[in-house]
């Protein structure tokens, strides 16, 4: 739900720009989980991706050996707002582990889109 609200409010501010929630919402991948959708008739694509909350992002990190796809020393956006101009991000580092803090919404970090789990 946060992702849809973020997209709705951000599109009003910068309709042509890319931002974390829009990237997650626009993500399309075939059922193998890797191959991008091409629009060819008959392919089965998943289009129900969203930007995870900070709690969901933490849970994914706890299961990163199963889920995969995380980069060490990298910060990821969550859909959890801190205030009007800030949202929560999480950094996944071997030491000290998961670090979360609020960052300006116009900052650049990675996006880890997810589906319901």
- Asked whether residue 109 is assigned to any structural domain, the reply reads no
Q: Which residue has 């089965």 as its token pair?
A: 44
The residue among 9, 21, 95, 8 whose CA lies nearest residue 53 is 21
- Asked whether residue 40 is assigned to any structural domain, the reply reads yes
- Asked whether residue 33 is assigned to any structural domain, the reply reads yes
Q: What is the pLDDT of residue 12?
A: 56
- Predicted confidence (pLDDT) per residue in 6-40, tens digit: 555 555 556 566 666 677 677 778 888 788 888 88
- Asked whether residue 12 is assigned to any structural domain, the reply reads yes
- Asked whether residue 111 is assigned to any structural domain, the reply reads no
Q: What is the pTM of this model?
A: 0.72
**Contact by Cβ (8 Å): 6, 17:** no
- Asked whether residue 37 is assigned to any structural domain, the reply reads yes
Domain count, the chain: 1
- Predicted confidence (pLDDT) per residue in 60-88, tens digit: 888 888 887 777 788 999 989 999 889 99
Range of the domain at 30: 2-104
d(CA 77, CA 91): 9
């Amino acid at each position: 739900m946060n992702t849809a609200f973020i997209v709705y409010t951000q599109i009003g501010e910068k309709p042509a720009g890319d931002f974390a929630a829009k990237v997650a919402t626009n993500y399309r991948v075939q059922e193998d989980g890797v191959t991008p959708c091409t629009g060819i008739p008959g392919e089965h694509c998943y289009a129900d991706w969203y930007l995870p909350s900070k709690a969901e992002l933490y849970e994914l990190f706890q299961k990163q050996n199963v889920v995969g796809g995380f980069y060490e020393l990298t910060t990821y956006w969550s859909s959890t707002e801190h205030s009007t101009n800030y949202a929560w991000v999480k950094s996944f580092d071997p030491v000290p582990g998961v670090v979360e803090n609020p960052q300006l919404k116009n900052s650049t970090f990675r996006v880890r889109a997810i589906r319901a789990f």
